[in-house]
């Protein structure tokens, strides 16, 4: 059995589930698709409770069925946003979130729906002495392929060669 080992001796072991690409590595037009995931009632209600969203459309089955526009409960838009982006989270140690633009909830998502995400690399612009700005779009779909959410994520990314971008 291994003995205790100081973390300094583990520093050279690559981190699992991380990326290290830099600004220069970002390819405009690249598309990636996530795995799919089904949204359960339990996790939807847990999310609603965590964020204090108890709107009748997301938290009241009787209201949603008898008085609601769709006849069943919705998944909160904030949850669809969180899950959709989480499906494409890249854990890049060189990127930092700068914000989100053009967030739109296009179609309703219901408990039991299965979603997946397509990320597209849109553009990149030099921004700071040490980092550039990239923009990717996230399109969240529910199966069989209905677009339910769109947004653009702006991120700063470290340069591989900062001296190439200094003014």
Rounded distance, CA 81 to CA 70, Å?
20
Which CATH entry fits the domain spanning 18-165: 3.40.50.970, 3.40.50.2300, 2.60.410.10, 3.10.129.10? 3.10.129.10
pLDDT digits (tens, 9 = 90+) for 114-163: 999 999 999 999 999 999 999 999 999 999 999 999 999 999 999 999 99
Helix (H) or strand (E) holding 110: none
**Angle subtended by helix axes 77-86 and 41-51, to nearest 10:** 110
- Please name the residues in contact with 122: beta carbons below 8 A apart, sequence gap of 6 or more: 28, 135, 136, 137, 152
Can you give the pTM of this predicted structure? 0.91
Q: Give the per-residue pLDDT at 14.
A: 83
pLDDT digits (tens, 9 = 90+) for 67-100: 999 999 999 999 999 999 999 988 899 999 999 9
> What is the domain partition of the chain in residue ranges?
18-165
CA atoms within 13 A on the CB side of 60: 11
């Amino acid at each position: 059995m291994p003995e205790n080992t100081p973390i300094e001796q583990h520093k050279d072991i690559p981190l699992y589930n991380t990326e290290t690409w830099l600004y220069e590595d970002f390819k405009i037009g690249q598309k990636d698709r996530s795995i799919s995931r089904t949204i359960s009632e339990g996790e939807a209600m847990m999310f609603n409770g965590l964020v204090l969203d108890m709107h009748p459309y997301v938290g009241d089955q009787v209201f949603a069925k008898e008085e609601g526009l769709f006849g069943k409960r919705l998944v909160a838009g904030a949850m669809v946003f969180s899950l959709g982006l989480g499906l494409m989270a890249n854990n890049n140690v060189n990127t930092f979130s700068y914000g989100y633009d053009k967030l739109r909830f296009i179609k309703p998502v219901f408990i039991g729906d299965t979603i997946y995400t397509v990320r597209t690399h849109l553009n990149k612009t030099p921004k700071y002495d040490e980092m550039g700005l990239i923009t990717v779009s996230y399109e969240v779909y529910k199966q069989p392929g209905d677009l339910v959410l769109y947004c653009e994520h702006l991120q700063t990314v470290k340069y591989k060669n900062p001296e190439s971008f200094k003014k």
